[in-house]
Chains A and B, each alone.
Chain A
Amino acid sequence: MLGYAGKILRVDLSSGSFKIEPLSDQMVKSYIGGNGFGVRILYDEVPPKIDPLSVENKLIFVTGPLCGTPVPIAVKFGVFAKSPLTGILGESYSSGFFSEHLKKAGYDVLIIEGKSEKPVFLKIFDDDIKLCDASSIWGATCWDAEDILRSDLGEKRLGILSIGPAGENLVKFACITSDRYRQAGRCGLGAVMGAKKLKAIAVHGSSRIEVANPDGVLEVAKGIVEKSKSARIEHHRVYGTLGTLEIANAQEALPTRNWTYGFFEKAENVDAEYMLRNTFVRDVGCLNRCPIKCGKYNVVKDGPFKGTAIVGPEYQSTYALGPNCFIDDLKAVIKANELCDKLGIDTITGGCTVAFAMECFERGILSEEDLGFKLRFGDSEALMRLLELIAYRKGIGNLLAEGSKRASEKLGAEALAVHVKGLECPGYDARVLKGTALQYAVSSRGACHLRARAQVPELTGAIDRLEIEGKGKLVKEREDLFTLFDSLIVCKFALPIFELSDITKAYNYVTGIALNEKELLMVGERIMNMERLFNVREGVTREHDTLPKKILSHPNQGLVTSKEELNIMLDEYYRLRGWDLETGKPTVEKLRELNLL
């Protein structure tokens, strides 16, 4: 089984035991790896309708066939569970040394089952697998826990995943931190880890991943390094993801003040130019290997947040903690981002939930008495205070730790919560980007900007952002493509220099399995349908493929994405997907075509 470690490691926290199982040929050929493995295992092993924080939920860590090979953009891993935030498919990706070490330790997949009585961390050093007492680091921030483990374990070359206080306190949008500065942020999978009393996972692997055609793989790797120097990716290399902010803002597509506007007047105080002039220190490539180096190490050099240092902030974190909270100070955004990283909070949902609460305060739905302080838009001190309360579930933080959907239902403020299926919307304004609206509505994990990345052709003018027709096709085709990225697993930001033909070559050289472009895309489509099947089993129907009220009826530039527009796009999308127009379920014919029946 070239390109794979060939094994699944299954750890039962309830009994403290583990077992190693072979990875089947059928699984490899039908699902490739990454999200294909994750969703298939989740569907097969997690019973329907369970409480995501119960002992029955499983936490599945996956790598892909390209991980651990010289392909320099294959530096990611995926995490799967039923999401405590949304109650449907929970899926999140991050980069770091975890994926490479897990695979080199001999495992393509790690499945965590059951629940420990007391806090533990999992140590995987090749075939030395142990559950160790984590009482001394329970309560520590992600960063402190990681520092202690690195020091105690006596091995420098490690991939470490950890949760912070938010995960321990079952905050529904707690993240899993990887190697300090990277997070599997979305869907609250850190809370699943917390419910299992699993504080951290430390992995060291020392074997080699054999590939079918080593020279071919090196050729692909060299090609990526060479192409990463090209102008096609220069903006991303120079500015990082934050470079997107001024492009979105210039088109009034930057959600601001809890999605009241699509334009932030003070964007120049939080954009990438500001970052480069004031806080930027150096570029950071994932695993010190990715040649694109879109990570930006920033240090605040003066003022009240002096000394704060992170890799970031990324565009999405800046949107959520900055303009969406009406905060015009990048240094404060960096500080809030650092706080989220240490406490283990997803910056998108964290920032958006605070923005929701700020609007509730300004409208009198939440009072100073409820909060213990004033929570005005633009108040960075209040933002940070509330993030702390959320992480420790103190005061109003206990309600907001449930995410904006549940909090809004309790407060009778549903119209102010900007989410799809319970997952808060990323920072692309779906009132003025119609394909983006559709991708938020249909994405398997709730509002997601990464599965189809429809905002890219819309913001760059490659297609008409306000056109409705053709957006079903756009989203369907890009979902299948990016699902392929997530099965291999490679970074989606590399698309301009790693196109489908390159993917096909890389997959064939690594695994020796001869699949052509069409066959690979069909695997992407199969995985998308598995994701849908999981959600259908949890009760998702067409009526859940919708948009928040602010997008449907609160105009930006005089525009909304209306229910009628959404329905037209949904019809086109469902037809192309082969899903029933009434229910949104995959049809029997489609499932047969994809060998899912």
Chain B
Amino acid sequence: MIPFISEDDHERQALPTSACQKRITINVEFRGEAKRRLGIGKLVVTLPEDAGLLELLEELEKKFGWPFKREFVDESMGDLSPKVVVLVNKVPLRRNFRFLKFKGGESVVLFPHTVCGG
């Protein structure tokens, strides 16, 4: 059971990273299943410079104990899972997500278990 943490708490608490690396901050939003299970909608994550989506998912996994990598990456296909949507600066991440390197201040929205209907 993941304890409820308010959005404000997370706005204030950046996740720790190694002190000897340059760092960037990323604004992360959870939607759908992730938001419901984690009980928060937004947080700021600090990552090493040149980090990509995998590093972000690992960082979130460490923090929350929720299997972000398994949810978002289909290892058998070596690709993003077809059931999810990841938006980087409001644009859906294409399947070549491994080449992405974040820049400071970018926004990431994570939608697990997404099927568009209606």
A residues adjacent to B (C-beta < 8 A): 231-236, 238-244, 246-247, 250-252, 273, 294, 314-316, 455-456, 458-462, 464-465, 493, 496
Contacts and interface: CB of A to CB of B under 8 A. Distances in A.
B118 A235 contact: no
Contacts of A233: 115
A456 B32 CA distance: 17
A250 B110 CA distance: 11
B12 interface: no
A295 to B, nearest CB: 11
Interface in B2-35: 29, 31-33, 35
A242 B118 contact: yes
Contact of B33 (A238, A246, A459, A462): A238
Task: Specify which of B29, B32, B86, B93 lies most central, judged by the most chain A CB atoms within 10 Å of its CB.
Answer: B32
Given A244-B116, A465-B92, 9 more contacts: A235-B33, A235-B111, A236-B115, A246-B31, A246-B32, A250-B29, A294-B117, A455-B116, A461-B87
B114 A247 contact: yes
B90 interface: yes
Contact of A232 (B90, B109, B115, B117): B115
B101 interface: no
B33 A250 contact: no
Contacts of A252: 90
Contacts of B53: none
A341 B92 CA distance: 35
The 6 closest A-B pairs by CB, nearest first: A461-B92, A241-B118, A315-B118, A234-B113, A235-B113, A236-B115
A240 B35 CA distance: 17
Chain A contact residues: helix, strand, loop or mixed: helix
Interface string B77-99: 00010110111001111110000
23 contacts: A232-B83, A232-B115, A234-B33, A235-B33, A235-B83, A235-B111, A235-B113, A235-B114, A238-B32, A238-B113, A244-B116, A246-B111, A247-B31, A250-B90, A251-B87, A252-B90, A273-B35, A315-B118, A456-B115, A460-B85, A461-B80, A464-B94, A496-B115
Contacts of B33: 234-235, 238
A524 B76 CA distance: 33
Contacts of B118: 240-242, 244, 314-316
Interface residues of B, number: 27
Contacts of A460: 82, 85, 92, 114, 116
A294 B36 CA distance: 18
A368 to B, nearest CB: 35
Contacts of A493: 115, 117
A240 to B, nearest CB: 8
A252 B114 CA distance: 17
Contacts of B113: 231-232, 234-235, 238
A243 B92 contact: no
Most interface-central of A234, A459, A461 (chain B CB within 10 A): A461
A246 B94 CA distance: 19
A449 to B, nearest CB: 8
A232 B75 CA distance: 16
A277 B32 CA distance: 13
Interface in B62-86: 80, 82-83, 85-86
Contacts of A234: 33, 83, 113
Nearest to B32: A235
B27 to A, nearest CB: 13
Nearest to B94: A461
Given A247-B85, A251-B91, A241 B114 contact: no
Nearest to B109: A250
Task: Pick the most buried of A232, A247, A273, A462: most chain B CB atoms within 10 A of its CB.
Answer: A247
A438 B80 CA distance: 27
B65 to A, nearest CB: 19
A170 B33 CA distance: 44
Contacts of A458: 92
A246 to B, nearest CB: 6
A243 B118 CA distance: 9
Contacts of A241: 117-118
B117 A315 contact: yes
Contacts of A314: 118
A493 B112 CA distance: 18
Contacts of B32: 235, 238-239, 243, 246
B20 to A, nearest CB: 35
Contacts of B112: 235
Nearest to B35: A273
Contacts of A244: 116-118
A461 B117 contact: no
Contacts of B95: 461-462
A571 B87 CA distance: 31
Contacts of B90: 250-252
Nearest to B86: A461
A475 B32 CA distance: 28
Nearest to A450: B118
Nearest to A428: B116
Contact of B117 (A243, A462, A464): A243
